[in-house]
Structure 1
């Protein structure tokens, strides 16, 4: 298993923390997150209904 660069892991954690905060503030009601591999790299696709 290859490791994700620390910078990329921090960016992902920041994104998830932001999304959770938005839900806690009632600024979002539904967020769908798709995580997939494309061209050997992980991609995160965020879809929101707001």
Structure 2
């Protein structure tokens, strides 16, 4: 499978599954603040 096709499938998957929205937003915020992947994120008000 081509890399661009796999990337497209990943993007579609994460956009269609609402459960990933908040964690991915928090990861993005943390990345912007640190300038690299690392640290800890905290998600509050979790639901099953």
User: Does the TM-score normalized on the shorter chain lie above 0.5?
Assistant: no
TM-score (norm 2): 0.37
The structure whose residues are more often strand, as a share, is 1
The structure whose residues are more often helix, as a share, is 2
Which of structures 1 and 2 has the bigger CA Rg? Answer: 2
